[in-house]
Amino acid sequence: MAAERPTLTDTHCHLFLDQFSADRPEVIVRAITAGVSRILVPGIDVESSRAAIQLAEDYDEIYAAVGIHPNSAHLWNEEAGAILRELATHPKAIAIGEIGLDYYWDKTSHNVQEQVFQFQLELASEVNLPVVVHNREATQDILRKLFAWQEELERMNSPIAERPGVLHSFSGELADMEAALAANFYIGITGPVTFKKAQGLREVARRVAPTRLLIETDAPYLAPEPVRGQRNEPQFVEHIARRLSELRGISLERLCLETSTNADALLGWQN
Ligand code: NI
């Protein structure tokens, strides 16, 4: 039997964005050819959540998350909430995201962002789907909200209390990572882990429990070394996997297997 290529999983990629309009099918085929067998595409508003579901219908390898990103929080209203609830019932909608807080771009007041985040956490517990969480310069506010939500899930005996979500493109401190693991969250590591100056992030990434680590591109953004500065695409998740396997002192095959198994556990995928 021929040796199988390790299966890679990209748990965060925005394939619906304009940066892919000229060559989207080629990008997807390149990823599959490179061994990326599953890609999670999180929406950032209602329209892109619909587009993510359309991609999931078109490709076996693609799954969708539906949600309103904090930078689009001003678009939230009751109707948007109702549409997301409906979209979340699609069989290939397997998470609520990308949701969270962004104090860097700060397009909407913190107050509104927090409300929209809270509404979508409640939606996630209602439909029993884990969350994909965006954080920019808001780590403590995010963790406070997530921990309170996860405690509530435990109290309700929710099936997602054991797999409440992923902290996408993790950028917090070691202590934040450990607190997140203690509340059953997964840690998503993106391209910056390959950047020369990212010593702190590498130390965090090295110490994430093997059962909680995920790899994600966040394409078209955050291209890893050695393609830093280019448009990112899901096939480049292998560069992140390779760097992490070196950091953690394990084989690339094992790193791929661990992160794919973790994605299965978080997202309810079958092998
Ligand atoms: Ni994203």
Amino acid type, 199: Q
> What does DSSP assign to residue 193?
G
Give the pLDDT of residue 20: 98
* Stated pTM of the model: 0.96
Give the pLDDT of residue 179: 98
Query: Ligand 1: distance of its center to the CA of 218 in Å?
Result: 5
Query: Ligand 1: distance of its center to the CA of 98 in Å?
Result: 6
**Rg of the chain on CA atoms, in Å:** 17
Rounded distance, CA 149 to CA 130, Å? 12
Region class of 38: left (phi > 0), else alpha (psi between -120 and 50), else beta? beta
- List, for residues 98-145, the tens digit of each pLDDT value: 999 999 987 789 999 999 999 999 999 999 999 999 999 999 999 999
Q: How confident is the model at residue 271 (pLDDT cuts 50, 70, 90)?
A: very low
**Burial bucket for residue 121 (CB in 10 Å: 0-12, 13-18, 19+):** buried
- List, for residues 216-270, the tens digit of each pLDDT value: 999 999 999 999 999 999 999 999 999 999 999 999 999 999 999 999 999 998 6
Query: Ligand 1: distance of its center to the CA of 139 in Å?
Result: 16
Give the pLDDT of residue 5: 57
Contact 130, 266 (CB under 8 A): yes
Give the pLDDT of residue 220: 98
User: Mean per-residue pLDDT for 53-69?
Assistant: 98
Query: Ligand 1: distance of its center to the CA of 102 in Å?
Result: 12
Give the pLDDT of residue 2: 42
What are the beta bridge partners of residue 10?
39
Query: Ligand 1: distance of its center to the CA of 41 in Å?
Result: 9
User: Per this entry, what is the length of the chain?
Assistant: 271
